[in-house]
Amino acid sequence: MARVAMPVGEDFEDAELTEPRAALTDAGHHVVMIGARKGQRVHGKRGEATAAIECAAADVDPADFDALVIPGGYSPDHLRTDKAVVDFVRRFAASQKPIAAICHGPQLLIEADVLAGREVTSWPSVRTDVENAGARWVDRAVVEDANFITSRGPDDLPEFCDAILQRL
């Protein structure tokens, strides 16, 4: 089964972490929480979930993973200032393996400079940032463009999770 990296920081959107993680693990995949510091415990913005960072982004190789799933909330905005996390995402994108981002997740893809020429969706407030990064923004529950899977937000989680599982 697949080994999936999930970069996560403080104030993630609770369901956007817990639902994809559950769907992936229920299907037999192994999800690894990566972040700024190994052992750090991060909290969802709604206070419903926590996650323990298993690996620091600086210490992992994208080649060791089969897919990347980026939850939204404020987590991507916090992570985009961490050079190691951004570098991990950039190097992972070069692999052409599946990358899934929901809600504010594309902020991390913008910082990694990997959206130019793509068709993506996101939370509506991220639209201008996505377009300024050279991507074409569309308003659909799930948008798939080559190895990228993007989704708008929590209401789209069933379709988002299905798209990821189909890709794996």
Catalytically active residues are: 103
d(CA 30, CA 162): 16
For 11, 112, 148, the CA distances from 94, given in Å and listed in that order, are: 27, 11, 12
Q: Is 146 left (phi over 0), alpha (psi -120 to 50) or beta?
A: left
The DSSP bridge pattern shows strands 50-52 and 41-43 to be: antiparallel
d(CA 54, CA 124): 31
- In the structure, how many helices (H) and strands (E) does the chain have? 6, 11
